[in-house]
Structure 1
Amino acid sequence: MTLYHIHLVMARNKDFPDGNVHRGYDIHAPLDADGRLDREAWEKVPSACTVIRFWDGERSELGYLVHHPKGGWAFDYDPADDNDDETGYRLSNHVFKTGEYISVRDHGADELHTFVIASVTQAD
């Protein structure tokens, strides 16, 4: 299984007209031939599929890419606490390719943030 490093940074919005490269995610995940999250490959080694959330000088959070039984993907920072999960908007359908946009619902808030995929590279 090949893992990819997906680097997301906050896209332009009303608070950050130029975006914000200091807010985002570094994701290690398997992608299929079309660039979508590969659930079958993820099921083989879910513990290798990590997420690091970085946010303007706050302490980075380490979590995991998880697939919920209802079909959606999320970032889970504490398996014992569902309240900390950050869900992606239709991540199952997204193609992870540089320049595409992804929306993630911030944990602790009902707000969706939009991120641009800054890079997708094969992980070491």
Structure 2
Amino acid sequence: MITHQPTRELLMSTWNIVKLELARTDEFPSGSASRSYLIRIPLNDRGLIDEAARAADPGRSTVRRFWPNERDQSGYILKSGNGWVFSYAIGENDDENLFHLENHPILQGEYVTVTESDGERLPYRVASISPI
């Protein structure tokens, strides 16, 4: 008797540089490419963050925030509870939460919602994804 065991789907991951640009808001009806983030993160074939690859080299998962008239900020992408945050300093006061990124793929042309440290939620469009 031959029995079949379910096969586990093998998902490959790749480290990527992802550019997020501010999408359309009331203040910026056409969005704003000058208000952006560059993130370095491992993504699997489905565009989801590869948590195991990130945990194996957490210092490699970085974020850089560019915003006119403000100093650029550099930090890390951290796991927080069930989700992810951009963190620029020790503690949670400056953390920016990433809405549903635990199960929402990062794909070019899609959107990511960032809740800034002051509580404002802003939409960002995935402008580019470049494997490194």
Q: Which runs of 4+ in 1 moved over 3 A?
A: none
Give the residue type in structure 1 aligned to 2:25.
Answer: N
CA RMSD of aligned residues (A): 1.0
Deviates more, 1:113-122 or 1:49-58: 49-58
CA displacement at 1:21 relative to structure 2: 0.6
1:115 matches 2:124: yes
Equivalent residue of 2:49, what SS?
Answer: coil
Structure 1 residue 2: Cα displacement? 3.1
Point out the structure with max Rg over C-alpha: 2
Confirm or deny that 1:55 pairs with 2:67: yes
- Identity, in percent, stands at 36
In structure 2, how many angstroms separate the alpha carbons of the residues matched to 1:24 and 1:87?
15
Residue 58 (structure 1) shift:
1.4
Over residues 45-83 of structure 1, what are the superposed CA-to-partner deviations in whole Å (9 max), with x where a residue is unaligned? 000000001111311100000002x2210001002x210
Aligned residues: 120
What is the distance in 2 between the residues matched to 1:56 and 1:94? 28
| Structure 2, unpaired ranges of 5+ | 1-12
Give the distance between the partners of 1:72 and 1:47, measured in 2 at CA: 18
**TM-score normalised by L of structure 2:** 0.87
Superposed counterparts of 1:1-124, under 5 Å = 2-68=14-80, 70-79=81-90, 81-107=91-117, 109-123=118-132
Q: Distance in 1 between matches of 2:130 and 2:48?
A: 14
Bigger mean CA deviation after superposition, 110-119 or 1-10:
1-10
Q: In structure 1, the residue corresponding to 2:102 is in which secondary structure? A: coil
> SS at 1:2's partner residue?
strand
